Structure 1
Amino acid sequence: MKLIIDTDPGIDDAMAIAYAAAASEFDLIGLTTVFGNTHVHQSSRNARFLLDKLGLDLPVAEGASFPLGTDSHAPSEHVHGPEGFGDFTEVPELGLNHDLPAAEFLVEMARMYKDELVLCAVGPLTNIANAMRLDPEFSGNLGRLVIMGGAVYCSGNITEHAEANIYHDAIAADEVFSAPPETVLVGLDVTLKTLYETADFEALAQKSPNMGSFLRDISRFYLEFYKKIGGLEGCGLHDSTAVIACSHGAMFDMVETGLRVVTEGDRMGATQPDPDRPVVRVCRDVDGVGVVRLFTERVASLP
């Protein structure tokens, strides 16, 4: 399966990218970056650093700096740390970004691998909306879009109504859902059922001294946020669950519905069923224990 991850690394993004690198069913062909957990230049630097750490020579195409129609963004430093990796703040600048910006890269790859390419978006959907604007055939060329985002049947995590990735560019998300490619939405309805605890990180570090230890170390900041805000003893495998959904759909219960995103007001970012919109598959339940086990098994195989 040809896979591109659209990402804003981010601690849970790092976990998802590590999983994708370890899972033999994926042929990871590149990363595209977007603002979100960090500024976009940090996202790109972090993505290149992660690929180097994983021993992968893959393109990183830098994308949107800001949400559609705006010229500012405040990263989630209180969740992911000032550089995106918790207390690990000396992230080296390795390599260079791809010549093409993210939207153009996505359009080109979808044309090249027509119907084969799965795009897993684990940040704001700005790059995907821009690719759809750039090429009317993009949605048809793409094999499948899997999105980590939304809180359709549960409460949000950045506001009462909204999940962070959708909230950070509600306009882009609504555009994507207005004429989506074949799409699976992996939102808080399921990702909060995949709790990864301190003991899981410790076990992972024992089995994977390089990558597992790195994920354990950067996760401490993230785990402290979860404990402080929600009283939880672990973190949801948000982005990793979306990557797992790309290949293990049988682990999820899904419903088909159209979606609309509120783009203004105090409910901005709310992701709501809309029977008049094209159908997407929304994950409503998941084998959370199975997802945690699969994540550990795969990432533990890394050095």
Structure 2
Amino acid sequence: MKLIIDTDPGIDDAMAIAYAAAAPEIDLIGLTTVFGNTHVHQSSRNARFLLHMLGLDAPVAEGAACAIGQDTHAPSEHVHGPEGFGDITDIPEIGANHPKSAAEFLVDMARRHKGELVVCAVGPLTNIAQAMQLDPAFATNIKRLVIMGGAVYCPGNITPHAEANIYHDAKAADVIFAAPPETVLVGLDVTLKTLYETADFDALADQSLDMGGFLRDISRFYLKFYKEVGGLEGCGLHDSTAVIACTHEPMFETVETGLQVVTEGPETGATRPIPSRPPVRVCRDVDGAGVVHLFTERVATLP
């Protein structure tokens, strides 16, 4: 399966990219970057660093620096650290970005791999909305869009109503859901059922010394946030669960519904079912233990 991950690395993004590199079903043909956990230039630097660590020769196309209609963005430093990788702050600049923007790269790859390309968006949805606006055929050229985002039947995590990725560009999300490609939404309804604990990271690092050890080290900051804010003993495999949903659909229980996103006011970012819109598949349940096992099994094969 040909895959592009639209990403804002980010600790859980790093885990998802590592999983994609290790999964034999996935041909990772590129990363597109967006603001979110970090500023977009940090996202791109981190993405190129991760690909270098993983030994992958794949392009990184830089995308949106802020939400539609906005000119600034404040990263989630309290969740992911000042550079996106927890307490690790000395991250080298390796290589260069692709000459085209994220939206242009997405449109080009969708045309080149028409009917084959899956796009997994694990950050704010600005690049995807821009690709749809750049080329109306983008939505039908891709095979499927898998989104890590939303809290349709459960509370949000950045506000009581909203999940962070949707919240950070609610207008972009609503543009997509108004006329979506074939879409699967992997939101907090399922990702908080895939907790990865300190012992899991330690076991992973014992098997994958370099990549597993790196994920263990950057996870400490993230796990501390989950403990202090949510009282949880682990972190949700948010982005990795979305990547797993790209290839392991039977592990998920879904319902079909149209979605509308609140774009202003105190409930900005809320993802609400609305029958009048084209349906997307919303994940309602997951084999959480199976996702955790599969993540460890695959990433443990990395050096």
Match of 1:36 in 2: 36
Give the drift of 1:34.
Answer: 0.1
1:124 aligns to what SS in structure 2?
Answer: coil
Match of 1:25 in 2: 25
Matches within 5 A, 1:6-155: 6-155=6-155
Give the drift of 1:265.
Answer: 0.2
Per-residue CA distance 1:123-145 (angstroms, 9 max, x = gap): 00000000000001000101100
Q: Which amino acid aligns with 2:152?
A: V
CA–CA distance in 2 between the matches of 1:277 and 1:67? 23
Give the drift of 1:215.
Answer: 0.0
Match of 1:241 in 2: 241
Give the drift of 1:5.
Answer: 0.1
CA–CA distance in 1 between the matches of 2:122 and 2:70? 21
| Structure 2 runs not aligned, ≥5 long | none
CA–CA distance in 2 between the matches of 1:76 and 1:2? 30
Runs of 4+ in 1 over 4 A off after TM superposition: none
Matches within 5 A, 1:203-214: 203-214=203-214
CA–CA distance in 2 between the matches of 1:219 and 1:284? 27
TM-score (norm 2): 1.00
Give the drift of 1:47.
Answer: 0.0
Give the drift of 1:235.
Answer: 0.1
CA–CA distance in 2 between the matches of 1:270 and 1:55? 39
Give the drift of 1:114.
Answer: 0.2
| Structure 1 runs not aligned, ≥5 long | none
Give the drift of 1:26.
Answer: 0.3
Per-residue CA distance 1:181-233 (angstroms, 9 max, x = gap): 00000000000000000000000000000000000000000000000001111
CA–CA distance in 1 between the matches of 2:222 and 2:183? 29
TM-score (norm 1): 1.00
CA–CA distance in 2 between the matches of 1:223 and 1:269? 25
Give the drift of 1:78.
Answer: 0.1
CA–CA distance in 1 between the matches of 2:38 and 2:230? 22
2:155 aligns to what SS in structure 1?
Answer: coil
Match of 1:197 in 2: 197
Matched residue pairs, number?
Answer: 303
2:75 aligns to what SS in structure 1?
Answer: coil
Per-residue CA distance 1:149-180 (angstroms, 9 max, x = gap): 00000000000000000000000000000011
CA–CA distance in 2 between the matches of 1:215 and 1:156? 26
CA–CA distance in 2 between the matches of 1:91 and 1:179? 39
Give the drift of 1:58.
Answer: 0.6
Match of 2:280 in 1: 280
Percent of aligned pairs with the same amino acid: 80
CA–CA distance in 2 between the matches of 1:170 and 1:138? 20
Match of 1:222 in 2: 222
